[in-house]
């Protein structure tokens, strides 16, 4: 038991590592903000294209969405970070991570938006168009508000996935939370900094996971 505590819950080591980890957490937050905002926006645009009547726009988006849902995000990241330099495109870790995760996440957010938009009855669009609203006005005022409300739990759960995803940035030496914790582990030969990182992730994500469960249960009961 003592050995277990010393390996995973060494308070002294945790306290020493905390400043480093908090600095990493700030990078994680920045990363999340950029990826989530870009992902939401890109996902919405993709979803609208994927639902547009014009063939090439639609197929381009549908293929994009399926492609980036099929490739593991870490593979995208390694490709962007280590592969693109061969083509003369050298990216800083932060940019590489943002680009790779944007490709992955915009595809996921697009799927969520698409499902939401598809679930809005066709009569809503027809009624709006019959009163002279343009296709864009119809989308903005009539279709999107209920569509987004319907998929709010999925958007939230995707957001949780983004935060978890950013931990992969440690693989390309971006000093975010997990990278900092792993540095501290290798310096101290002790897993406690990793456990501390886990606790920090839990502090932010556990409440969100609870909310998602509640919300989905509420919908299911309805």
Partner 1 sequence: MRFLETFFNPAVIGQYLPDIIAAMWVTIYLAVATVLTGVLLGAGLACIRAANLKSVNFCIIVFADVMRALPPLVLILILYFGMPSVGLSLSAEVVIWLVLSSVLTAFAEEIFWGGLTAVPAGQWEAGRATGHSKFQTLIYIALPQAVRMGIPPLVNRILATTKLTALGSVIGVKEILSVASSAQSFSGSATPLTMAAIAYMIIFIPAVIASHWVERRFSYKM
Partner 2 sequence: MSQHRAMLEIHALEKRFGQTEVLKNIDLKVREGELVFVIGPSGSGKSTMLRCCNRLEEPTSGAIMIDGARITDIPRRDLDKMRLKVGMVFQGFHLYPHMTVLKNVMLAQVKALGRSKAEAEARALDMLDQVGLKHKADARPSELSGGQQQRVAIARAVALDPKVMLFDEPTSALDPELVGSVLNVMKDLRQKGMTMLVVSHEMAFAREAADRVVFMDGGYVVEQGPPEEVFGNPKSERLKAFLSRVSGTAAA
Binding site for partner 1 (CB under 8 A): 3-4, 7-8, 66-67, 69-76, 78-79, 82-84, 86-87, 160-161, 163-168, 170-171, 178, 181-182, 185, 190-191, 194-195, 197-198, 201-202, 205-206, 208-210, 213, 216-217, 219-222
CB contact at 8 A, 90 and 84: yes
Residue 78, judged by CB atoms within 10 A of its CB (0-12, 13-18, 19+), counts as middle
Q: What's the helix, strand, coil split of the chain in %, to 5?
A: 85, 0, 15
Which of 23, 30, 58, 129 contacts partner 2 by CB under 8 A? 129
CA distances from 87 to 81, 90, 99, 128, 173 (A): 11, 8, 16, 49, 21
CA distances from 96 to 57, 99, 101, 180, 191 (A): 26, 5, 8, 18, 28
| Residue 195 binds which entry of partner 2, partner 1, none, CB below 5-8 Å type-dependent | partner 1
Which of 2, 53, 132, 189 contacts partner 2 by CB under 8 A? 132
Q: What is the C-alpha separation between 202 and 187, in angstroms, rounded?
A: 24
C-beta of 135: minimal distance to partner 2 in Å?
9
Using DSSP's 3-state secondary structure scheme, residue 188 falls into helix
C-beta of 139: minimal distance to partner 2 in Å?
12
Listed residue (161, 138, 42) closest to 99, CA to CA: 42
Is residue 121 a contact point for partner 2 (CB under 8 A)?
A: yes
| Residue 126 binds which entry of partner 2, partner 1, none, CB below 5-8 Å type-dependent | partner 2
Is residue 124 a contact point for partner 2 (CB under 8 A)?
A: yes
| Residue 114 binds which entry of partner 1, partner 2, none, CB below 5-8 Å type-dependent | none
Q: What is the C-alpha separation between 135 and 126, in angstroms, rounded?
A: 10
| Residue 112 binds which entry of partner 1, partner 2, none, CB below 5-8 Å type-dependent | none
C-beta of 143: minimal distance to partner 2 in Å?
10
Q: What does the binding site for partner 2 look like in residue numbers (CB under 8 A)?
A: 121, 123-124, 126-134, 137, 141-142, 145-146, 149
């Amino acid at each position: 038991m003592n050995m277990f505590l010393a390996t995973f819950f060494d308070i002294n080591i945790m306290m020493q590592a905390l400043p480093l980890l908090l600095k990493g957490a700030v990078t994680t937050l920045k990363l999340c903000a950029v990826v989530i905002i870009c992902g939401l926006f890109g996902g919405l645009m993709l979803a609208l294209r994927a639902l547009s009547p014009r063939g090439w726009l639609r197929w381009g988006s549908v293929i994009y969405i399926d492609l980036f849902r099929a490739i593991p995000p870490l593979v995208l990241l390694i490709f962007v970070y280590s592969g693109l330099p061969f083509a003369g495109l050298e990216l800083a870790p932060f940019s590489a991570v943002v680009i790779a995760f944007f490709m992955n996440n915009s595809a996921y957010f697009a799927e969520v938006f698409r499902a939401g938009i598809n679930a809005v009855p066709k009569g809503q669009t027809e009624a709006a168009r019959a009163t002279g609203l343009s296709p864009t006005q119809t989308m903005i005022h009539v279709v999107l508000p209920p569509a987004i409300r319907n998929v709010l739990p999925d958007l939230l759960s995707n957001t949780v996935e983004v935060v978890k995803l950013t931990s992969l940035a440690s693989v390309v030496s971006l000093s975010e939370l997990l990278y900092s914790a792993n540095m501290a582990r290798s310096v101290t030969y002790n897993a406690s900094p990793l456990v501390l990182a886990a606790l920090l992730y839990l502090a932010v994500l556990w409440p969100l996971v609870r909310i998602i469960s509640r919300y989905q249960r509420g919908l299911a009961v309805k």
